[in-house]
């Protein structure tokens, strides 16, 4: 049985432990905010590379083992060369006039993060009038040894036709 003296000493220890336990989420939320900011900055570079028609720049935003899961197909495009070829094919004869990626949520664990978001792409094939496509996406991100977050998996889900 504890004596009143022992209880008096235990209370400050419990309060200190409680304070430490609640300090971690703040640090975690700061790290998550930094991760989200990094992902959003990379998304901006992705958008600009698509508008420039630069498949090499797009492929460089993926990890070495990156994959794209395109909508409406059964294929996976993997690795930098496969991704470069996939995006070059998408850009052949089609101009991306506007590419808007909007992050909805980001969560992370260790060196992996996952992002959900919405997209809006305005494209023009040849002389045809521009068309706008909308959808959602799920991206898995992988932190590199140098601290950069690159896309590990990109899966796009188009909105159904109106």
Does the pLDDT at position 157 exceed 90? yes
Domain boundaries 35-158, corresponding CATH code:
3.10.450.50
The pLDDT tens digits of the residues spanning 136-146 come to 999 999 999 99
Q: Where are the domains of the chain?
A: 35-158
Query: Rounded distance, CA 82 to CA 76, Å?
Result: 9
The pLDDT tens digits of the residues spanning 75-118 come to 899 999 999 999 999 999 999 999 999 999 999 999 999 999 99
Residue 32 neighbours by CB under 8 Å, 6+ apart: 106, 107, 108
């Amino acid at each position: 049985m504890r004596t009143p003296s022992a209880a008096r000493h235990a209370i400050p220890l419990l309060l200190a432990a409680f304070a430490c336990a609640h300090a971690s989420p703040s640090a975690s939320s700061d790290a998550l905010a930094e991760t989200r900011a990094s992902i959003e900055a990379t998304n901006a570079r992705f958008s600009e590379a698509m508008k420039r028609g630069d498949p090499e720049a797009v492929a460089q935003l993926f990890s070495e083992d990156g994959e794209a899961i395109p909508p409406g197909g059964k294929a996976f495009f993997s690795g930098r060369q496969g991704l470069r070829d996939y995006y070059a094919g998408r850009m052949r004869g089609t101009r991306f006039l506007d590419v808007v990626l909007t992050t909805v949520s980001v969560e992370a664990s260790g060196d992996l993060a996952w992002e959900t978001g919405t997209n809006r792409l305005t494209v023009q094939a040849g002389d045809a009038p521009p068309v706008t496509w909308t959808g959602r996406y799920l991206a898995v991100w992988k932190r590199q040894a140098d601290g950069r977050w690159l896309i590990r998996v990109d899966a796009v889900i188009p909105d159904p036709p109106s």
